[in-house]
Structure 1
Amino acid sequence: MGKVRNRASVFGGQRTDEGPPVQMNVFGAPMETSGLIISVHPFMPEQNSTPGELFFECTLFLYSVLALFLQYLNLYKTLWWLPKSYWHYSLKFHQINPYFLSCVGLLLGLRVTKCFWKTITEVVAKLSLNQGQFMQSCLTVFEYAFVKTPMMTMVVTSFMFSFTKVWNDFPMSSVMQFFVPLPFYAYIFQSELIHKYRRVKEAIWIWIKGGIEITEVVERFCEPAPQSVDHESTAHMCSQHPAQIREEIAILTEDLYHRFKRCFFAGLSTAFLSIYLPCIFAPFKTNLGMSQKILIDSVWEYELFTVVALTSFSLYITYLLPLNYIDLLHRAAVHLGTWELLSETSRVSREMTPLWNPNDGLHPMGSVVQLGDERRFLAVGSAELGTVAAEPGNFEHTTFYRLCKGPCTLVNLLCIFEGILIAVQFWMLVLTTEWQHICTLVLLMFANYLLLAKLFKDKVFLSRIYDPSPEDKALVEQLKNELKMH
C-alpha cells in the first residue's frame, strides 16, 4: 500500500497555499501543454467544511451508544404506563449487567481511542518541528508517560476486569460471541493485516539491533492502514497517455474498494455490538439463582439490526466520500471512457477491425477494436473529451466509468439509498403499536434525516459547479480572481 501511495503522486499534484496545482478555466476549450490537457474540468472551490476524523468517530460512537440504549429499552422495558403498575421506571435496571455494558461500550469506542491516539501523535509531531533534541525528548516523554500510557492502561484494565466478570457470569457459548467479528475482520482486511505484520516485524528486528526506539515499534503497531489516495492533498492531472490514465484508475479503484470495505465492516460491527450482543447476553437467571427467560421479538431484532447496520454504513460512507474525492473520481472517469461490446450481427466488417493494442494512443469515440478472442468493442467516450483510454472487456474499468461518469452519480445513488432507508423506517413506524418501538424508530431516523440533507446539499453544489447558471459563472470567476490576487 505504501508503494501505491507514492505512485499516486505521478498524476496527483500536491496542493499548496499558493493556489491550485494546475491552471484551470471554468469552461474553456481543452488545450495541450507538454502532453497534458489543461482546462478540461470546471473549477472546484476549496471545501473546508469536511469534519475531522476525530469528530466523525465521536459522532458515530454517539450514534452507536444511542442504538445500544434503545436496544436496552426494547429488552428491559416495563409496564410503567399502566394505571396499576408497580414499576416506577421504564427500564428494569436490576437485570442490566454493568460489566457486559462496560465491555460493549469500550469496544464501541475502540475506533475513537485509536483516532485519539493518532491525533496525539500528530499534535506532538507538529510541536516537535524545529525544536532541539532535549525539547523533542521531553515531548516524547510527556506523550507516552502522561497521555498514552495512562489512557491505554485505563482502557485495557477496564476491559479485562469487566470481561473477567462476564466470563464468570455467563456460559462459554455466549462469551465466545465476542470473538465473532475477528474472522470477518481478518477476511475483509487480510491484505492490510499482512502489510502491518511485515512492518511490525521489520521494526522489531531493527529495534533488536538498536536501530530505533521501542516507541517506533509501538507506533507501527498502532498506526492505521495507509490509504492509496489522500484526497486532501492530491489533485487530478489531465494526461493524454492511456497508460498513465489506466494506472490512475487502478489506484483509485483500489482506494474506493478499500473505503467500501471499511464502511461495510463499520456498519456490521456497530450493529453486532449494539443490537445483537445484548440479546445474547440477556440474563438467564434471577438474583436468587432461579432460571428465567426474557421474551425477545426476533423479527423486530432483525429489523433493528438491519436499520442500525445500514445507517452506520451510510454515516461512514458519507464521511469517506467527500465532495473533493467524488470530484476526483469523476475527473478520472472523464479521461477513462469505456467500451461497449458489439453483437455478432453488427455491420462493422470483422476483417477491417484492428486489434486493440495497450500501447496505442487514445481511441476516438466511435472507433471499433477487436480482441484476440474476436470480440469487438465500440469506443464510448465522455462528452468533454470524446476519447477512450480504457481496456476493452475490463470489468473494473467499465464499472468505474458507470459509477463516476456523471459528477452527481455517486451522490444520487447515496440519496436514493438514504431515501429508501427513511421510507422503510417510516413504514415500520406506521405499522408498529408498541411505545418502545416508536421511540426507537423516531430517534434513529434523525441520523438519516441529517444524512439526506447533507447529501442533497452536496448534490446541489456539484450540479451548480458542472451545470452552472450565469450567476454561478460570475461567482466562479470572482473566486478565481481572488485566488490569483492571493
Structure 2
Amino acid sequence: MAYDERSDTGSSSDAHDGCQRGKMGAQQVTMPKHIPFPEHSTTPEWLSELIMCCFTMGATIVQFINIYRTNFWLPQSHTRMMVNIELIDPFLRLLLIVLNTRRLFYCFLLGNWKNQGHYILQWGLKYGYAALVQFSIGYCSYRLYLKHTYMLIFYISYPVVVYLVIFGFQLEPFLRSRFELPGVYINDMPVHSCTTNPEQIRHEIEILREDFNKRFKQLIFTCMLNAYLVLIPCLLAFTVHYNVMRAAQHCIIVCLGAFSLSAVFLYPAKYSDTLHRATLHLGCWQRMDRDLQAAPSQLIVAANALNWNRYAVYGNGTVVKHMGGLFRSQGLVTVATPGNASHVRFYKLFQNPTIIYSTLATLQAAVLLVEIASLTAAGIEWHFVLSISFVAFTSMVAFFKLVRDYIITKQLYRAECATTYN
C-alpha cells in the first residue's frame, strides 16, 4: 500500500524535521492548479438503477419472445398473443423480477431514510430487505428445482459463486451498485481534498484506488448478471424448439450493452475528474538505473541524488534514491512512493482520462455498427429484429454519454495543460 501506517522508527524530532522539510519542499515547487469542472447533468443513483432495471427487464422479455413466440398473425392461428405465456414457469418469472428490481426498490427505500439519521432503522431496513430478497430467490429456486432436473442447481448457483468470488460475503454490493467507502463523499461521489501533505495525498490515493476497484468489480458482476438473466430462460426451455444461435447472440449483445451502461453510470466524467486531480498531486517516479545504455552516466546522477523522504514534495525532474533504485520524478509535483506499482498504474490511467472515454466510445461505436449490420442478416425473423433494435436503441444512450464525456474532458484538460505549463 502507498500509505505507510507503521510508526516511524526514528525519534519525534526526526519526524518533526521531516515534516518541516516537507513543508519547505511544498513551498519550493509549484502545486497543480485545477480548472473547475463544468456543471453538466449527472445521472442520480435512482435514475441509473431505473434505466438498468428497464434495460434488463426489456432484454429478458425479448428473450422470452425469441423462445416462446407464436404465429399470432396467421389467420389459422389459435392464439392472438405474441408469446405462449402458459409455457413460461411462473416461479421463473418471479425469480427474474426479484433479481431485476432488487436494487431499484432498495434505492427508493434508502432514499427515504438516508438523510434522517436513524441508523438503527437503516440497519434493520437493510438486513430485513436483504433477507426478504434472499428468501424470495431461495423459494423460487426450490420450486423450480422440484419441476426440473438437478442441473438447475448448477444454473442457479452460478451467479452466487461469481458473487462470492468477486465480493466475498459483503452484502452492500448485492443491494447497491454505488456504495461509499470511509472518506469524504457527496452524493455517492468521492471528493478530492487539495492538500500539500504527502501522507494525506497518498492516503487519499489509496481510498480512490479502492473505490475504483470496487466499482470495476461491480461493473463486471452487473454485465455478467444481466447476461445470465437472459440466458437462464434458454437453459430451462426443455420442451420448446428455438433458434439457439439467435438466443446466444442476444445474450452477448445484452452483456455488451450492460457493460456500456454500467461504465457510464459508475464512471461519469465528474468521477474521473476527481481521480485526475488526485493524480496531479500524486505524480510518478520513473526508474533510471534499469537503462543499460545510460549506465556510465548513472554514477554521476546517483552521486547527486537525494534520499527519498516520505514527508517531502518533489518537483518535476528531481532524482532520488530509494531501496537501492534511482528514480526521476514525472509530473508537476511528486509525492508517490518510488517503485510502488499501484501508484504508477494510477498515474498512467488517470493522468489523461480522455483516453478512457475515447476508447469506450470507439468500442461502443463498433458494437453499434455490428448490431446495425446484424439487422440486414435478420431477414424475416421479426423477433430477432426486435431484440437487435431494442439493445441498439439503449446502447445509443451509453454512446451519447460517452461521446459527451470525451468532448468535455478533452476540452477541459487541454485548457488545464495550457494554464499549468504556460
Matched, 1:278 2:233: yes
Other structure's SS at 2:294 match: coil
Task: Give the deviation of 1:184 after TM superposition.
Answer: 1.5
1:77 is matched with which residue? Answer: 69
Bigger Cα displacement from structure 2, 321-330 vs 147-156: 147-156
In structure 2, distance between residues paired with 1:97 and 1:116: 29
Q: Is the 8 A contact 1:37 1:240 kept in 2?
A: no
440-449 or 78-87, which deviates more = 78-87
* 1:3-402 matched pairs, under 5 angstroms: 40-47=33-40, 49-80=41-72, 88-122=80-114, 125=116, 162-190=140-168, 192=170, 226-229=180-183, 230-232=185-187, 235-273=191-229, 275-282=230-237, 284=238, 292=239, 294-297=241-244, 299-342=245-288, 343-346=291-294, 349-352=297-300, 353=302, 354=305, 357-359=308-310, 361-372=312-323, 374=325, 376-381=326-331, 385=332, 387-402=333-348
Q: Note if contact 1:118-1:223 (Cα within 8 Å) is conserved in structure 2.
A: no
Displacement, 1:108?
1.5
CA offset at residue 430 of structure 1?
3.3
Amino acid at match of 1:364: G
CA distance in 2, matches of 1:263, 1:366: 37
Q: Return closer, same or farther for 1:365/1:307 CA change in 2, 3 Å cut-off.
A: same
Do 2:202 and 2:336's aligned partners in 1 also have CA atoms closer than 8 Å?
A: yes
The answer to whether the 8 Å contact 1:228/1:254 transfers is: no
After superposition, the C-alpha distances for 1:148-203 in whole angstroms (9 at most, x for unaligned) are 9998898677656644532322222224422221121112112746xx8xxxxxxx
Q: Which moved more, 1:354-363 or 1:102-111?
A: 354-363
Contact 1:231 1:325 in 2 (8 A): no
Q: 1:410 aligns with which of 356, 359, 373?
A: 356
- Mapped partners of 2:113, 2:255: distance in 1: 31
Question: How much does 1:267 deviate?
Answer: 1.1
1:445 positional shift:
0.8
Which of the residues 393, 399, 414 maps onto 1:446?
A: 393
Counterparts in 2 of 1:182 and 1:391: CA distance versus 1, 3 Å: same
Change in Cα spacing, 1:251 to 1:73, as seen in structure 2 (3 Å) is same
Aligned length: 384
- Whether the 8 Å contact between 2:190 and 2:271 is mirrored in structure 1 is no
Structure 2 unaligned residues grouped into runs of 5+: 4-24
Task: Indicate the percent of aligned positions where both proteins have the same amino acid.
Answer: 25
- Between Structure 1 and Structure 2, the one with more helix by share is 2
Does the aligned pair in 2 maintain the 1:358–1:391 contact within 8 Å?
Answer: no
User: Residue 236 of structure 1: SS of its match in structure 2?
Assistant: coil
Query: 1: distance between equivalents of 2:369 and 2:93?
Result: 32
Question: Is the deviation greater in 344-353 or in 94-103?
Answer: 344-353
CA shift in 2, pair 1:370/1:348, >3 Å: farther
Q: Distance in 2 between matches of 1:346 and 1:270?
A: 52
Query: Residue 223 of structure 2 contacts residue 258 of structure 2 at CA under 8 Å; is this kept in 1?
Result: yes
Deviation at 1:260, TM superposition (A): 0.7
Q: Secondary structure at the residue paired with 2:196?
A: coil
Residue deviations 1:51-90, cap 9 Å, x none? 3322221221111100101111111123445676666443
Structure with the greater relative contact order (CA < 8 A, sep ≥ 6): 1 or 2?
2
| Residues 283-334 of structure 1, C-alpha deviations (whole Å, 9 max, x = no match) | x3xxxxxxx453441x434332222122212222211222322111111111
Query: What residue in structure 2 maps to residue 210 of structure 1?
Result: none
Between the aligned partners of 1:154 and 1:181, the Cα distance in structure 2 is 18
**Contact conserved, 2:190 with 2:208, CA < 8 A, in 1?**
no
1:340 & 1:305 partners in 2: Cα distance? 44
| CA contact 1:429–1:438 (8 Å) conserved in 2 | yes
The range that moved more, 256-265 or 228-237, is 228-237
* Contact 1:356 1:369 survives alignment (8 Å): yes
Distance in 2 between residues matched to 1:449 and 1:426, nearest whole Å: 12
Residue of structure 2 equivalent to 1:202: none
Q: 2: distance between equivalents of 1:259 and 1:246?
A: 20
Cα distance per residue 1:407-466 (max 9 Å; x no partner): 523322332232232223223333333322221111111111111112222233334444
Evaluate the alpha carbon distance shift between residue 225 and residue 322 of structure 1 in structure 2; reply closer, same or farther with a 3 A threshold: closer
Structure 2 counterpart SS, 1:237: coil
- 8 Å contact kept, 1:35–1:240: no
Sort the Cα spacing of 1:370 and 1:191 in 2 relative to 1 into closer, same or farther, 3 A: farther
